[in-house]
Amino acid sequence: MGKASTVSSLLCCPCRCLFCGVLSCLFSVLTCIFFSAGLVALVLYLLFRPHIIRATAVSADLSVFDLTPRMWILHYNLSLALQLRNPNKRIALHYRDVAAHAYYEGQRLADAALPDFFQDTGETSPLNPVFAGDAPLVGGVAAAGFRREAAEGATFSVDVKITAHMKLKLWVITVPGPKPKIDCPLRIQQRNHTDGGAPPPEFHPTECRVWF
């Protein structure tokens, strides 16, 4: 028994050493790859210094914003013009799965899909979401908020959010980018129903918040 176990251990040791050597080599290669990737990412960041995009709501037309009494159904028609600027001088941007979401009193009213687009360095791109339809307002607080704003000059607080997926183009290299989130808290006066030919009320351009 003693001789057999000794022979078996002698036969296993080379295999065990070979297996350990392969694992050690693989670990070293993976460590080198991750370290190199991190170093390249750091160099690219220091070289290009990416700047955050800028978003501005430049115009808005709230032609319909009425609440059905007792049923609390909100009827709305909102057209919005946004400008999205890429301030980077060396990084172009690809946007896909772009969508706009309209909220009132913290409740989502509607979603609007927007086309994918490419934005070159230093370029400003327009976004024109349109929301039209009706949605229930849940809870008396939201309805009370509507009545208050309707009585105060029919100027309503509508929150529009933009979401998207982004890719970064560095020269000929395209890499996955962050998922930008844009929040535009707007104060929009409803158009006068008694004068159908009147232009939309004056809208003051509003800077939107952007984060990733």
pTM for this entry = 0.76
Q: Which residues 6+ apart lie within 8 Å of 87 measured at CB?
A: 51, 52, 53, 54, 122
Are both 81 and 183 inside the same structural domain? yes
> Mean pLDDT across the stretch 148-172?
94
Are both 69 and 169 inside the same structural domain? yes
Backbone angles phi, psi at 20, to 5 degrees: -65, -40
**Residue 50 half-sphere exposure toward CB, CA atoms < 13 A:** 18
> What integer best gives the mean pLDDT of the chain?
86
Number of neighbours of residue 170 by Cβ within 10 angstroms:
15
Are both 127 and 148 inside the same structural domain? yes
Which helix (H) or strand (E) element contains residue 169? strand 155-170
pLDDT digits 0-9 by tens, 87-119: 998 899 999 999 999 999 999 999 999 999 999
In this predicted structure, what is the pLDDT of residue 22?
67
Q: If you ran DSSP here, which 8-state letter would residue 202 be given? A: P
Are both 41 and 144 inside the same structural domain? no
pLDDT digits 0-9 by tens, 24-41: 777 777 788 877 776 666
Nearest to 156 by CA among 109, 195, 120: 109
Are both 63 and 133 inside the same structural domain? yes
Are both 100 and 19 inside the same structural domain? no
> Mean pLDDT across the stretch 10-19?
52
Q: What's the domain count of the chain? A: 2
Q: Is the pLDDT reported for residue 8 higher than 50?
A: no
| Host domain of residue 172 | 54-211
